[in-house]
Amino acid sequence: GFKCGIVGLPNVGKSTLFNALTKTANAQAANYPFCTIEPNVGDVAVPEARLDVIAEIGGSATRIPARMNFVDIAGLVKGASKGEGMGNQFLANIRETDAIIYVLRCFEDEDVTHVDGRIDPMSDFETIETELMLADLESLEKRKPGLEKKLKQNDKEAIQTMRLIETAIAVLEEGKPARTAEIEDDDQKAWRMLQLLTSKPVLYVANVDEDSAASGNVFSEKVMAHAQSEGAQAVVISAQIESEMAVLDDEEQAEYLDAIGLTEPGLNRLIQAGYALLGLKTYFTVGPKEARAWTFQEGWTAPRCAGVIHGDFEKGFIKAETTAFDDYVENNGEQGAKDAGKVRQEGKTYIVKDGDIMLFKFNV
Ligand code: GDP
């Protein structure tokens, strides 16, 4: 599955946040087996209000949310790119993720030591990103000699790869992450093959003190401003509060949220932001037994989406009965939508849209 890596300096609240995420996943999906793939990988249910609406209208007995993975990547210190601390392992773990969540410490607490002795989220961010940029530069330089022979043979792929390596190096040497490079559509695939740490999409978590969970604080404002300058998302959260809230039942949670001035857990916003960061979209299936959310990627056709449920659905695909979420709701469900002419018969080339309710017809 798709993975978001949680990255940050020591003592910024990564584990607290990760534990809250995995506890919440357990609570939300009691009827769905929680699986721990590795100790630091959490398989998390994606909160989705539309699923509740569909299940309600469709009279479904259970609701099965979509899922995604979070990885707690501990061990970053200054010098990681030179193998300091757990440097190499740390970088290898990040390489395996699809997107990066930077957890930045925006809370003061004398009992929790900061590695640099002061609270400065943007300086922390620069420390981490510098290590990632150095690691990228090193891996790019290492790739060059291996291309020489093919370049001499005028190999097209090697020429493209070398050109992209030079592009990445130029950007990195300006002190900017590889994700800021402008890459043509035709080069995207080869660009991804470079597997750069700083070309992965990012989002920022400003981990604030308990009193600032709703309002944010002077530190989180800096994080927000930076995220905005990059066109990235930032989520203000108090990991401490989230970890306390994760173990409460729905009613207790609602009271707690009310008391601190929030309308929903910060974790919900974080999971949804992570899902969007990975470029993931959701379609639904609904029946008396269950309403279920399924994950696909922008641009996928109906057969490809059917394959998410089962390979046979893709192989034997005939057509899909498709209803947009709004049409389903406005017409009070499938029958109403049918009567109103809002249930479409879509074929093999249909590009599925976020929120579509799908019923696949297939040969076995
Ligand atoms: P990690 O090293 O980044 O994984 O950090 P941890 O999650 O282990 O947190 C380090 C310490 O900071 C722990 O004692 C946490 O209880 C504390 N901590 C984490 N988040 C918060 C927060 O939002 N507020 C306060 N006051 N303490 C926090």
**Does 117 have pLDDT greater than 90?**
no
The distance of Cα 237 from the centroid of its chain, to the nearest Å, equals 16
What is the rounded CA–CA span in Å between residue 312 and residue 318? Answer: 11
pLDDT of residue 240: 93
- Overall average pLDDT of the 290-315 stretch: 96
The candidate with the shortest Cα–Cα distance to 62, out of 333, 346, 286, is 286
Q: Which atom of ligand 1 is nearest to the CA of 208?
A: 23
* Binding site per annotation, positions for ATP: 11-16
Rounded CA-CA distance 307/182 in Å is 33
Ligand 1 pocket (Cβ < 6 Å) reads 8, 10-16, 107, 109, 112, 207, 209, 238-240
Write the residue with the smallest CA distance to atom 24 of ligand 1. Answer: 209
Distance (Å, whole) CA 12 – CA 289? 43
Mean pLDDT of the chain: 91
- In the chain the domains, ranked by start, together with CATH numbers, are 3-48+65-120+200-277 (3.40.50.300), 129-198 (1.10.150.300), 299-362 (3.10.20.30)
- Write out pLDDT tens, residues 11-64: 899 989 998 888 765 444 433 434 444 558 888 999 999 999 999 999 999 999
Residue 219 CA to ligand 1 centre (angstroms): 16
pLDDT digits (tens, 9 = 90+) for 242-283: 999 988 888 999 999 999 889 889 999 999 999 999 999 999
Q: Could you give the C-alpha distances from 36 to 25, 39, 77, in angstroms and in order?
A: 11, 6, 26
pLDDT score for 30? 38
The C-alpha atoms of residue 362 and residue 305 are separated, in whole angstroms, by: 13
CA 192 to centroid of chain Cα atoms: 17
- What percent of the chain has pLDDT above 90? 79
Q: Where are the beta strands (DSSP E) in the chain?
A: 3-7, 41-45, 62-64, 67-72, 99-106, 202-208, 233-237, 280-286, 290-297, 317-323, 344-346, 357-362
Atom of ligand 1 at shortest distance to CA of 237? 23
> Phi and psi (nearest 5°) for 69?
-110, 140
| Alpha-carbon gap, residue 242 to 214, rounded angstroms | 12
- What pLDDT score was predicted for residue 86? 60
What is d(CA 9, CA 117) in angstroms, rounded to the nearest whole number? 12
- For residue 125, name the pLDDT band (cuts at 50, 70, 90): very high
Strand bridging mode 280-286 / 290-297: antiparallel
Residue 144 has pLDDT above 60, yes or no: yes
Q: State whether ipTM is beyond 0.90.
A: yes
321-351 confidence digits (pLDDT tens): 999 999 999 999 999 999 999 999 999 999 9
The pLDDT of residue 306 is above 60: yes
